Chain A
Amino acid sequence: MRCNTRIPSGCAISGLMCESGDRIDGSAIINSIALMHDRSNGLGGGFAAYGIYPRRSDQYAFHMMFDDLAAKENFDEYVKDHFIVEKDEIIPTRPFGNITNPPLLWRYFLNVDEKKLEFVEDREYVVNKVMEINSKVPGSFVSSSGKNMGAFKGVGYPEDIGHFYKLEEYKGYIWTSHGRFPTNTPGWWGGAHPFGLLDWSIVHNGEISSYGINKRYLEMFGYKLELRTDTEVVAYLFDLLVRRHNLPMEMAIKALSAPFWDSIDRMEPQVKELMTAIRMVYGGALLNGPYSIILGHSRGMMGLNDRIKLRPMTCGRKDDMLYMSSEESAIREIEPDLDIVWSPKAGEAVIGTLNGDVE
């Protein structure tokens, strides 16, 4: 069932965030991505939502896809050995539209036993286990593994996927979404966006032309790239740079979407030294080729374009709401009366930060 062929794709993306931490239900994001129906071809759609499990916000929420019941039983044995399972349940869905052949969708709320954390920090432990499940536990796939968040994705048009997962019943402070136009037919639910690891989630319109070296660069640090998607590469790069190397987010962004040498040569000496060092050391992490991505994490949302803006992205603000999308129309569809709307420059990140506490 799993597709081991890399599928280049074009896409639609949309994201919204309430910087004050207020939570809204999933219908707005469905309406936004639905407007860009023609940018997808029905072969993949998905959503990431943050703040959806407030009562279990300190537990790792694993959204799982199983090929069949046997795979789930196999996984149940595995998960018991490696985690404390606080709760597990089927992910509620409704039959909808053209959504056919879904895998078995299940979620687990997990804690890690202190005894297992003697030599490794808990997030590192979880990352290792996610890698292990996706590469070694047959028929099982982790579609998201963060706290108080989750990915909802599958094969179909994104708006159909949204209704299928009953997203109007969830409330979150960040919603991102993706409609996929792959140039091949994988027919595999795990291959849809968003891609997530811990609380990182990525939706992505584009093709990373530097995929080959980004993959080999990540492999040097122990990442196993099972999905062969660009999106996976982006998520792992953020995990490596921000979580493991402890880079400030603004520096990680500069590594991924580096300024040109022409610009660096004109910078103030201290900044120039910084940028030169980043390009020297993190050349393998430079994302090259056309992309616009929306990164979600528990404290914010970030939009980023490639170095010469080969893919579209428009942003808008209204009060404490931040919107990002492939098309302005998809923002206007859900908020016609914007305070400000702009197209960020190539390589310039748009950052939304959670100001308050989540309600």
Chain B
Amino acid sequence: MVTELSSVSQIPPEFHVKVDHDQCRRCKRCVLNCSFGCMQFKDKVTPDHSKCVACHRCTTFCPENAISITPHPITYKENANWTERIRQNTLKQAETGGILLTGMGNPKPYPILWDHLLIDACQVTNPSIDPLREPMELRTFLGSKPNHLEFERDEHNNVKLKTQLAPQIQLDIPVIFAAMSYGAVSHNVHKSLAIAANKMGTLMNTGEGGLHEDLYPYSGRIMVQVASGRFGVHSDYLKASAAVEIKIGQGAKPGIGGHLPGEKVGLEISKTRMIPAGTDALSPAPHHDIYSIEDLSQLIFAIKEATDYEKPVSVKIAAVHNVAAIASGIVRAGADIVTIDGFRGGTGATPAIIRDNVGIPIELALAAVDQRLRDEGIRNQASLVCAGSIREAADVAKAIALGADACVIGTAALVALGCRVCQKCYTGNCAWGIATQRPELTRRLNPDVGSKRLCNLLTAWGHELQEVLGSLGVNSIESLRGSRERLRGVGLDKETLEILGVKPAGVGM
């Protein structure tokens, strides 16, 4: 016998929406804009507080600035152990019996090591360089490099390159867009990213949902992903790319697969993913043909064969405890690029228990991997790409100083497109037209405007990186790359500093 729960939910609302009815002209713009069903019109605008997610869509578009959103005034009895989050989640599970789903990256207050690292600057003994007057180079190449070059002389005694280099991708700024699948995000997001990557000389990444045929013209700046579901993977897809990425894991959900519900699989997504419309797209947790490192090596070389050895192959893993040894294995297995995604990395949907408790910080993972590859003398063999909550240009500078060749931004790019990090991506109701497939919502994002905002973000970061390089007295990004001597730690314990390879602030050279 099924016992029905009460129709009244016990879960208190998170937010309180206040409409100033003196100012409100009842234009209903907020009602039209609200995709979560919170703003309703009954003689006047009447919010259903329990449905508000703080996405700011209504406040942004209210012409009278009549709406404000605050934390709901209902307060729990104070308790440092039984936090509001835990009590709220317990109530949810008592009502649903399900795994708690969530979106975006880990929001818990774990230490953010980027904010404990400080950058050096020049004073007197070496001059700083003014990036407005002098060249300041950010150009970066991703791909496997040999340990040394060989030269020969031609008949005119000119020096010629003898070494044949592996394929390389030129980046004009060492910041690339994260893997976000068509399905998790809308077509207009993909298009915005593709246009911006093309204009800025960087890369976008398809994620595991294939590449819509409209975006093939941008494929020179697109890294295509091959994930455990193999969605949308075919010969043209691989050949059209700038690089191919094998996705083993993701920082927000290491060790688990993915699930795109059937209601999001419309005609276009169905064609792109090569699955029937309306069916769930399930990515298994492991690749069913990869049960060890030698299997990964086979897949790497299968892809290289399929692309005539013209594309660098990247392998993306989540930062887990043994990441350094795993990365070393991946390099030796033939990967040209290793992408490491830290435990704060974003996602469209993940069980909260995994997102909030599994993996390690990217700062430590990156430092450990870079050092391990150097200790083994194979650092040149692969580029190291760092992902998992790169929030601002300062994080990029610090990641590069720790040893990254380039950084990945997902959430930062989405925020530039309008995302307010409300963590409701998995509901498909994104009011900003980002993490949704509802046509009336996706059209809210204009790819021309979106791409311009992304270009602006990268342009700004590029200038900021140049300022940092200038203050460090170097004029090329490779002189910062791996130069941990230019970082100092504050408030970090000895072991953490040792893993980071960074001295504490106050210690000179």
Contact = CB atoms under 8 A, between A and B. Distances in A.
B484 interface: yes
Interface in B147-178: 148-151, 158-161, 163, 165, 168
A251 B127 contact: no
Interface stretch (A16-24, A149-157, A270-278): A270-278
Contact of A247 (B124, B145, B151, B480): B151
Contacts of A282: 149
B377 A221 contact: yes
Contact of A277 (B161, B380, B508): B161
Contact of A207 (B126, B158, B380, B478): B126
Interface of B: 122, 124-127, 129, 134-135, 137, 139, 141, 145-146, 148-151, 158-161, 163, 165, 168, 374, 377, 379-380, 472-476, 478-486, 508-509
A280 B145 contact: yes
Contacts of A307: 475-476
A213 B482 contact: yes
Given A210-B474, A212-B485, A281-B146, A8 B161 contact: no
Given A246-B150, A248-B151, 12 more contacts: A8-B509, A209-B479, A228-B509, A262-B135, A274-B151, A274-B159, A274-B160, A277-B165, A281-B149, A282-B149, A290-B473, A310-B126
10 contacts: A6-B509, A209-B472, A211-B483, A212-B484, A220-B377, A246-B150, A278-B149, A279-B478, A283-B478, A284-B481
Contacts, number: 125
Contacts of A280: 141, 145, 165, 168
A207, A228, A244, A251 pick with most chain B CB within 10 angstroms: A207
Contacts of A220: 374, 377, 379
A348 to B, nearest CB: 16
A283 B125 contact: no
B180 to A, nearest CB: 29
A213 B137 CA distance: 16
A277 B163 contact: yes
A277 B129 CA distance: 26
Q: Which of A215, A216, A251, A307 gathers most chain B CB within 10 Å? A: A216
Interface string A1-19: 0000110111000000000
Contacts of A277: 149, 161, 163, 165
Contacts of A210: 474, 479-480, 483
Contacts of B509: 5-6, 8, 211, 228
Given A5-B508, A290-B127, A213 B481 contact: yes
A216 B145 contact: no
B508 A6 contact: yes
A203 to B, nearest CB: 17
A212 B163 CA distance: 28
A220 to B, nearest CB: 5
B159 A183 contact: no
B145 A286 contact: no
Given A289-B126, A290-B126, A213 B479 contact: yes
Contact of B482 (A183, A212, A250): A212
Contacts of A6: 508-509
Interface centre among A207, A209, A251, A260 (most CB of B within 10 A): A209
Interface in A62-119: none
Interface of A: 5-6, 8-10, 183, 206-207, 209-213, 215-217, 219-221, 228, 244-248, 250-251, 258, 260-262, 270, 273-274, 277-284, 286, 288-290, 307-308, 310
B126 A261 contact: no
A308 B134 contact: yes
A256 to B, nearest CB: 12
A219 B374 contact: yes
Contacts of A207: 125-126
A8 B475 contact: no
Nearest to B508: A5
B483 A213 contact: yes
Contacts of A308: 129, 134-135, 475
A281 B380 contact: yes
Nearest to B469: A288
Nearest to A221: B377
A310 B127 contact: yes
B160 A270 contact: yes
A113 B212 CA distance: 68
A206 B473 CA distance: 12
A209 B163 CA distance: 30
A211 B161 CA distance: 28
A286 B125 contact: no
B452 to A, nearest CB: 26
B33 to A, nearest CB: 46
Nearest to B146: A281
Interface centre among B122, B139, B479 (most CB of A within 10 A): B479
A73 B124 CA distance: 43
A213 B124 CA distance: 21
B139 A261 contact: yes
Contacts of A8: 125-126, 509
The CB with the most chain B CB atoms within 10 A, among A206, A221, A245, A289, is that of A289
Nearest to B472: A209
B137 A289 contact: no
A289 B508 CA distance: 18
Contacts of A278: 149
Nearest to A240: B148
Given A209-B122, A290-B126, A215 B474 contact: no
A206 B150 CA distance: 30
A212 B151 contact: no
A288 B476 contact: yes
